[in-house]
Amino acid sequence: MIDFKKLPRTEFATAVAQIAGERRIDAQTIIASVRLAIIAAYKKDARERGEALDPEIEYEVDLNSESGSARIFQIGADGKKKEVTPPDFGRIAAQTAKQVIVQKIREAEREAIFAEFADRIGTLVNGVILRIDNSGIVVGVGKAEAIMPREEQVPGEKYTPSTKMAFYLKEIREEEDRKMMVVSRSDPRLVEELFRREVPEVTSGNVEIARIARRAGKRTKIAVRSHQPGVDPVGSCVGQEGSRVHVVMDELGSEKIDIIPFSDDINQLVKAALSPAEHVVVGKIDEKAKVIEVKVPEEELARTIGVHGENVDLAGELVGYEIKVLAAAEEVGAKEAAAKKSDRKPAKRKIKKAEGAGKSKKVRKVSQPDND
């Protein structure tokens, strides 16, 4: 094993030792990579000179760890070595070694960055829009670049280069032997992390965001609860005169946010989740089918359901049930109609009996003249 600390301070040895120390790359890894690169450079140079190389033949590099000079040896079938170093190959070997070292520096920097961000997966990161390409939006996060795929973007949100935004660091993905960070603007956890940043009670754990449902760019509902006596979870997230929630909404492009108190009582949770609807009466709960029926005054029907069913859908997602809304007036009308139908049934039976009696009398009248 080469001890670079004991080698003379030649340019090559110094460069390797410096990289190994500063970039935390194993020196032996650098030397091994340089050897492989020099063999590749030799084969390329040979092909350019018109030489035919047998792909089965193996080669070995004798690399001087002090000077960086290299000699190429061909390994025969009997294991014997034959030097095949071309004239003036020293210049090619030096260039190759330099390229490998630069590449190793970049790889080490990328690995260091990914190692740093690996501990931050699931948190908020600040970034700047760099460019738009086929894979999505490229975001600069510190010294690294991240990708925001189309499915992680908010419909209708504008992404202009140089724009600074907050992102949710979702994962570090490996594709085709390369790593890339994936960030999101549409993930519901982005909202949760924004509240964590703005609300000290959430950061400390005194207030918990128990559940969250989101339609990115339109509306989010969060259910919060307190783990500290005397702490109002909703008030903590809203802030004085809405100061805290407005900061979050501004970051999300004025996306509407409903903050409700979490409750283990499903009836109370459903009523709160359907906010801003009022006078909600929880009816039948089908635990097996996960369906809840609620009744509201007819004038509250539109507010309860929301535009394109958004309010009731988000509420259902928040509580974990499908919510079916019935107007109270419709229920009363249905009962009245059923009562009227019930009243009409005996009358119909009487009419049928009367009609039957009339027919029998007519038959008897017709048969009488025949007897005379």
Distances (CA, A) of 139 to 148, 180, 249: 7, 11, 21
Cβ of 343: how many Cβ atoms within 10 Å?
A: 9
**pLDDT recorded at residue 65:** 65
pLDDT in tens, 223-252: 999 999 999 999 999 999 999 999 999 999
Architecture in CATH for domain 266-338: 2-Layer Sandwich (3.30)
In degrees and rounded to multiples of 5, residue 293 shows phi and psi of -100, 135
> Which candidate, 316, 231, 310, places its Cα nearest to that of 270?
316
What is the CATH T-level fold of the domain 124-184, as seen in this structure? OB fold (Dihydrolipoamide Acetyltransferase, E2P) (2.40.50)
The domain defined by 188-262 carries CATH number 3.30.300.20: yes
Q: Is the distance from CB of 318 to CB of 273 less than 8 angstroms?
A: yes
- What whole-number distance in Å separates Cα of residue 210 and Cα of residue 263? 10
Domain ranges of the chain: 11-118, 124-184, 188-262, 266-338
Say which amino acid occupies 303: R
The pLDDT tens digits for 95-118 are 777 777 777 777 777 777 788 888
Q: Are 304 and 280 spatial neighbours (Cβ–Cβ below 8 Å)?
A: yes
Looking at every residue in the chain, the average pLDDT score rounds to 82
| Contact of 72 with 83, CB cutoff 8 Å | yes
| Residues 169-228 pLDDT 10s | 999 987 766 788 999 999 999 999 999 999 999 999 999 999 999 999 999 999 999 999
Burial 81-103 (b: 16+ CB within 10 A, else e): eeebbeeebeebbbebbeebbee
pLDDT digits (tens, 9 = 90+) for 257-314: 999 999 999 999 999 999 999 899 999 999 999 999 999 999 999 999 999 999 999 9
What one-character DSSP code corresponds to residue 85? P
Structure tokens that stand for 89 in this block: 């190959």
Whether pLDDT at 367 is above 70: no
Mean pLDDT to the nearest integer, 116-125? 90
Q: CB of 251 within 8 A of CB of 226?
A: no
Q: Is the pLDDT of residue 334 over 60?
A: no
Please give the CATH superfamily to which domain 11-118 belongs: NusA, N-terminal domain (3.30.1480.10)
- Asked whether the beta carbons of 147 and 180 are under 8 A apart, the reply is yes
pTM here? 0.67
- Given a contact cutoff of 8 angstroms between Cβ atoms, the answer to whether 219 and 257 are in contact is yes
Six token digits for residue 358: 């009339």
The reply to whether 188-262 and 266-338 are identical in fold is: yes
